[in-house]
A and B are shown apart, each in its own frame.
Chain A
Amino acid sequence: DAKTTQPPSMDCAEGRAANLPCNHSTISGNEYVYWYRQIHSQGPQYIIHGLKNNETNEMASLIITEDRKSSTLILPHATLRDTAVYYCIVGSTGANSKLTFGKGITLSVRP
C-alpha cells in the first residue's frame, strides 16, 4: 500500500473551515484515499473516502488533485468537538485489503 505524509499538527478557529492536507505521491490506480479521525484515544471513526472525484458527506469534503498525488480534507465549520487526530490512509478496496495507520495530523480547534 502507498504511504501518506501529513503535517504533525495544525489549528484553526472555531467556526472556520479546517483544511487538512495529505500527500500520497506513490498512490496506485486502484487505491482509494480514506480519512479517519480519533478523538482522545477512542476508537477511530471513518469520515470519508474517494478514488479520484471530489466527495462530500455530512461530515466533510474530500478534494483529490487531478494527478491523485495529494488530497485535502475539509471540515467546513470546525467545532471544538472536531479536535482530534486525523489519519489519511491509502489502500485498495479488495476483500483482503488492510488499513495502515500513520501518525496522522493533530487538529486543535480553538474557541
Chain B
Amino acid sequence: EADIYQTPRYLVIGTGKKITLECSQTMGHDKMYWYQQDPGMELHLIHYSYGVNSTEKGDLSSESTVSRIRTEHFPLTLESARPSHTSQYLCASRGQGYEQYFGPGTRLTVT
C-alpha cells in the first residue's frame, strides 16, 4: 500500500482566503505531482516536481503555487481563493518504478 497523505480531505472556504493543501509521502519518492479534477471530468496535471527545490508547471494553467523544500512534502497554495478554484485536487508521487501512487484527494469548495 502506498503511503501518501493529503489534508484536509474536505475544505469549504470563503472567497479571498489563502489556503494551503498539504501532501506528504513516506516512500522517499523524488517525483511528486498535483492534479486537478472537476466532477465527472478528466484529471489535469497542474504542477510537478522532480526533487527538492524543483517545481514545474503542468499542462493546465493554474493560479496555485507549489514548493518542495523537503522530499516528503509538496504543498499547494492558493493566495486568494475564488469560486472558480472549486475542484478536487489529487497529489501523487513516483519513485524509480513505473507506478504513480495517488493520495485520497482534497475536495475544495470556495463560496
Take A41-B88, A43-B104 as given contacts and tell me if A100 and B98 are in contact as well, using a CB distance cutoff of 8 Å.
no
Q: Is the CB of B88 within 8 A of A98?
A: no
Q: Is the CB of A46 within 8 A of B50?
A: no
Q: Is the CB of B92 within 8 A of A34?
A: no
Query: Does B33 interact with chain A (Cβ within 8 Å)?
Result: yes
Main SS of chain B's interface residues? strand
A-B contact count (CB 8 A): 47
Query: Does B28 interact with chain A (Cβ within 8 Å)?
Result: no
Q: Is the CB of A102 within 8 A of B102?
A: no
Q: Is the CB of A49 within 8 A of B48?
A: no
Take A43-B92, A44-B43, A104-B42 as given contacts and tell me if A95 and B50 are in contact as well, using a CB distance cutoff of 8 Å.
yes
Query: Does A80 interact with chain B (Cβ within 8 Å)?
Result: no
Contacts of A102 in B (CB 8 A): 42
Complex-state Cα separation, A43 to B58, whole angstroms: 18
Chain B nearest CB from A22 CB (Å) reads 15
Chain B CB within 10 A, most for which of A49, A93, A101, A103:
A101
- Taken residue by residue from 81 to 111, chain B's Cβ proximity to chain A (1 for < 8 Å, 0 otherwise) reads as 0000000101010000011111111000000
Given A46-B99, A95-B31, A103-B42; 4 other pairs, CB 8 A cutoff: A41-B37, A43-B92, A45-B102, A104-B42
Interface residues of B (CB under 8 A from A): 31, 33, 35, 37, 39, 42-45, 48, 50, 58-59, 88, 90, 92, 98-105
Nearest 6 CB-CB pairs, A to B?
A43-B102, A101-B43, A46-B99, A44-B102, A103-B42, A101-B42
Interface residues of A (CB under 8 A from B): 32, 34, 36, 41-46, 49, 93, 95-96, 98-104
Pairs A–B under 8 Å by Cβ, sample size 19: A34-B98, A36-B100, A41-B37, A42-B105, A43-B102, A43-B104, A43-B105, A44-B100, A45-B102, A46-B100, A49-B99, A93-B98, A98-B33, A98-B59, A100-B45, A100-B59, A101-B43, A101-B44, A102-B42
